[in-house]
Structure 1
Amino acid sequence: MIDPTPFFRLHLVPVIAVLIWLVYSYLVKKRTSLTGSKPVASDKDAGLELPPEPTPLENLTPEKLKSYDDRPWRPFRWPYHQTMSIFKLDINHWLDMDKWYERYVNEKMNIIRKTGKEYCDCLPDGEDAVEELLETVVNHLTMRYPKLFVKTDIGLDNQVTGEKLDLRKPFKEPPLHYLARLTKEDFYIVKKREDGRHYLVAAVVPAPGGFFGVQNKMGQHLDVIHHEVPYYEEKLKVSMERWFARMKPADPVERASWFICWDHELLCNGIYALGPGEKVPDDTSYLKYNVRVCRQTLRRLPKSQAIIFSNHPIFYSIEEMKDEPFVPSMLKKVVLEGPEKILKYKGFEKCDQHLIPYLDRLIQRQIDLGIIQADDPLRTRPSYPFADWYDPNEKHTGNGYTNPFFKKAQEEQEKVD
């Protein structure tokens, strides 16, 4: 009797091949860009696993966004030392939204119109990465926030600002401008060149907080870009290039840094506008003091292989954090005893004499209320880099995160008034 097994095996090969082709075609079609351009590179094309798609936040509407607060950052730690301090990024939080969104995008565009290429420029070898970033941003926004951003035949409708963006090629304005008009983020775009090292090839950074222009950074290596960062040469230089080289599209990360200011300027806060030897004005109200948290992400794009560094500021008044355990104590400790180069870089020496009496009062308030004990050891909180009251395991429903301590402080003030 003839064994039929080889016959069936032979004829199953083309059947399996057709099935694989059909599945592949479906997946490619599903990944097609929402802007109508070619699909994002497949895992095979990039040789790397792609990041997951964001989960739609269906109930975040333009109306709800007006009072919406996002994750409460508290990136305060002790001992304080200079490290990258990175965490795995939940892709849902790549481009966060909050009630200040419209103010940010309007102010950013005003800055770009006034300053031209000073805070927004692109080199020829960065153009492909900028277009891929715009495509990625549009895909993310329309998928993550379907009630805020809607895909159209010509591009995208911003339901928050009322803008209808035409994203067809050739673009009617620089793609970097679209990025500034769509997100709160500043973007720095870095690519590897023939020497195997990473260089800044494009940037749109109208909200640096300290006059960080891009013209003297464009085309420069990471070492030049980070030259003024405290302890970069000693602690970060060797590992950063190596870390960038290994970074995969499937492994986005985030971090946060901070400094203290008494305004909400995006381009340059008052602390950095002061000249050498100048101090915060004596008549500055303590209630104006903010912690400006610079929330940053890093991710690699699969097609251009460019690394995208995003940054956007979030302002938290010290007053709203005054009853959060150890926050005033941590601020005082860092301002007075942090590493010397960091104190100078962040301008703490310009405000410490004015700020410390206020922090001392808040610390005594926490002791009087039993929030902390006078002899409690000061150390990084287990919730770092977020507030104690933030629950990272709670499903984000789109209702936002309301600071219960700030609400209590407001109620107390209302009783006094």
Structure 2
Amino acid sequence: MGIETVDRNDLLLFDQTYSERLSLRESLLRQHFDDIVGITNESDGRVRLAVQELYDYLFETYLPVRYPSIFKACEDKHSSGAMLQNLVTRQTLPMTMTDSTPLHVALKAIAQNVDEDFFILLPRKQGDSNEDFYVLEAYAACFPSGFQPKDKVGKKLADIHGPVPGYKEKLQKSMDRFFARLEPGRYVKRVNWGLTVDEELYSNFDKSAPAFEGKLKKLSLEDLDLNKTFLRCERQTLHRLPGSGAIVFGFHTYLYPVQDIKAEGSGEDLARAIDGLENGSVREMFTYKNGEKWADAVREYLRS
């Protein structure tokens, strides 16, 4: 799984793209709100507790302490509760959720202020078994990479990863065990990567189906639009909320132009990584990531 422990202070990272990315998030929320925010059941007490716990942790506990130059506690004469000001956007929001705050409003506020996508999973009992399985109960995701989150909400972890080659055979049991053992206060991360030649940050569609159906057009170097060709990396984090027991998946997406990678002298390194993806132990992963479409053209460019 490639998981490593991460310091709590590095759970969320902010950089110089923050303002620009928040503007993009705001635009996407206006256009695609029902795709970006999802909840299984607004009236489910366990789901409410999990969303409230994440909201309060972010806006009351974590962000104003970790990033005081961006988030500052403030007073609002129109509100009786503590407020938080985003010093970049100049917007204010409650530091904590109330019992009457709709969950979709809370998740929207998270998406508007944190350049991170969040998926909240809760444990459920499996029949008479003592083992739990985890279900995606709520999310706020502006930058999905080739899947539709609303099609995943309400599904078990194993079903969410169903299309991922090798997951059931090589990862499912270890992931289930890891989830069961993850204690509150421990934060972990992993990195996922792929190449994109024609996508935006918001890629809310099933990009693997055409590959497995043999419907992809293989690109030549002449076909490759270098201005749209990026190394897409996801920094994925996991932690457990102590009150609800929910697992929170956090995804921060980075796009690196392949032209910059080559100019910096790392073109051969990326080309070898593509070789490894194609010739790895799970060959279908190359197909899943649309490698047949872009691999030869990108490698030719990187090695030219």
Instruction: Output the TM-score relative to the length of structure 1.
Output: 0.61
Contact 2:267 2:303 survives alignment (8 Å): no
Are 2:202 and 1:267 aligned? yes
Are 2:68 and 1:146 aligned? yes
Rg larger in structure: 1
Contact 1:271 1:347 survives alignment (8 Å): no
Out of 179, 189, 203, the position equivalent to 1:254 is 189
Are 2:160 and 1:160 aligned? no
Q: How does 1:229-378 map to 2 (within 5 A)?
A: 229-262=164-197, 265-268=200-203, 272=207, 275=210, 276-280=215-219, 282-286=222-226, 288-322=228-262, 323-324=265-266, 326-334=268-276, 336-338=278-280, 339-361=282-304
What CA distance in whole angstroms lies between the structure 1 residues aligned with 2:71 and 2:47?
A: 26
Are 2:75 and 1:132 aligned? no
How big is the shift at 1:287? 5.4
Out of 107, 124, 133, the position equivalent to 1:193 is 124
Q: Which runs of 5 or more residues in structure 1 are unaligned?
A: 1-83, 362-417
Percent identical: 30
What CA distance in whole angstroms lies between the structure 2 residues aligned with 1:140 and 1:149?
A: 10
- Give CA-to-partner distance per residue, 1:112-143, whole Å, 9 cap, x none: 33223323112323111111101111121111
CA distance change for structure 1 residues 252 and 320 in 2, over 3 Å: closer, same or farther?
same
CA distance change for structure 1 residues 273 and 109 in 2, over 3 Å: closer, same or farther?
farther
How big is the shift at 1:245? 0.8
SS in 2 for 1:197: strand
Are 2:177 and 1:177 aligned? no
- Give CA-to-partner distance per residue, 1:217-268, whole Å, 9 cap, x none: 2221111111011100110111211210110012210001001113672211
What CA distance in whole angstroms lies between the structure 2 residues aligned with 1:86 and 1:190?
A: 18
How big is the shift at 1:335? 5.0
What CA distance in whole angstroms lies between the structure 1 residues aligned with 2:155 and 2:110?
A: 22
Q: How does 1:19-98 map to 2 (within 5 A)?
A: 84-98=1-15
How many positions carry a matched residue from both structures? Answer: 277
What CA distance in whole angstroms lies between the structure 1 residues aligned with 2:247 and 2:5?
A: 15
How big is the shift at 1:319? 2.9
CA distance change for structure 1 residues 274 and 227 in 2, over 3 Å: closer, same or farther?
closer
SS in 2 for 1:126: helix
SS in 2 for 1:174: helix
Q: Which is strand-richer, 1 or 2?
A: 2
SS in 1 for 2:162: coil
What CA distance in whole angstroms lies between the structure 2 residues aligned with 1:274 and 1:232?
A: 17
Instruction: Name the amino acid aligned to 1:320.
Output: D
CA distance change for structure 1 residues 216 and 332 in 2, over 3 Å: closer, same or farther?
closer
CA distance change for structure 1 residues 262 and 277 in 2, over 3 Å: closer, same or farther?
closer
How big is the shift at 1:280? 4.3
SS in 1 for 2:139: strand
Q: How does 1:79-118 map to 2 (within 5 A)?
A: 84-118=1-35
How big is the shift at 1:93? 1.2
Instruction: Output the TM-score relative to the length of structure 2.
Output: 0.83
Match of 2:79 in 1: none
What CA distance in whole angstroms lies between the structure 1 residues aligned with 2:51 and 2:205?
A: 31
How big is the shift at 1:158? 0.6
CA distance change for structure 1 residues 176 and 233 in 2, over 3 Å: closer, same or farther?
same
How big is the shift at 1:288? 4.2
